[in-house]
A and B are shown apart, each in its own frame.
Chain A
Amino acid sequence: EVQLVESGGGLVQSGGSLRLSCAASGFTFSDYWMHWVRQAPGKGPVWVSRINSDGSSTSYADSVKGRFTISRDNAKNTLYVQMSSLRVEDTAMYYCVRDSRYNPESWGRGTQVIVSS
């Protein structure tokens, strides 16, 4: 069974940093592209970032470009996102998502990030 377990969220002041992690199990992690998707309260999900299977290629939404860095450790079956210069509008539930042929197939339960002013 595919399992994605996010961690690392919390309350941080505007301008601060956080590193989120996503532990993957139940599948061959190194075979899949992975993404971070966030969802603010009462809103639809928004794509944040993606990384290819070996970590050599990444892309970001314009809203986080230059502030967030996605990475992965295939030996540890773990996905990361380093978030810096956090803004109030970054407040959301952050989900780790497995990509299956251009579809966001499997989602974790999410980790909450709250950025206070």
Chain B
Amino acid sequence: QSALTQPRSVSGSPGQSVTISCTGTSGDVGNYNYVSWYQQHPGKAPKFMIYDVSKRPSGVPDRFSGSKSGNTASLTISGLQAEDEADYYCCSYAGSYTWMFGGGTKLTVL
């Protein structure tokens, strides 16, 4: 199985919105509503930002939102802030108690 497909990089200016896509297959993203998103700063552990496609854990700003259509999930960050600059990874449940992760997207805040 291949990793979920994410764009290598995206960028935006402070205050703008960006969207990161995550494309899988009918065996993972398209089949389960267990898509999650992670923020990772260099040298740090991934931080849980979105789960079950569009739910936010407590403490995550509502500037972060998730959605899904077919085999593609998306993370939208609105009102970009400098501290949002990080790597972002998607993850989908892939059946048989396994997970499939994306290759990661580097977000640059210009």
Say whether A and B bind each other: yes
List residues of A whose CB falls within 8 A of some B CB.
Answer: 33, 35, 37, 43-47, 50, 59, 61, 95, 100-110
Known: A43-B104, A44-B3. A105 touches B98 (CB 8 A): no
Q: Report Cα–Cα, A45/B46, bound state, in Å.
A: 9
Would you call B91 an interface residue if the criterion is a C-beta within 8 Å of the partner chain's C-beta atoms?
Answer: yes
Report the interface size class on chain B: 20 to 34
Q: Closest 5 A-B residue pairs measured CB to CB? A: A102-B34, A102-B93, A103-B51, A44-B103, A47-B99
Would you call B45 an interface residue if the criterion is a C-beta within 8 Å of the partner chain's C-beta atoms?
Answer: yes
Q: Report Cα–Cα, A71/B44, bound state, in Å.
A: 25
Nearest-neighbor residue (CB-CB) of A106 within chain B: B48
Q: Report Cα–Cα, A60/B48, bound state, in Å.
A: 23
Which A residues lie within 8 Å of B69 (CB)?
none
Proximity string of chain B (46-82) to chain A, C-beta cutoff 8 Å, 1 when within and 0 when not: 1110011000010000000000000000000000000
Report the minimal beta-carbon distance from A94 to chain B, rounded to whole angstroms. 11
Are the C-beta atoms of A107 and B101 separated by less than 8 Å? no
Nearest-neighbor residue (CB-CB) of B99 within chain A: A47
Report the minimal beta-carbon distance from A111 to chain B, rounded to whole angstroms. 11
Select the residue from B38, B46, B51, B102 with max chain A CB neighbours within 10 A: B46
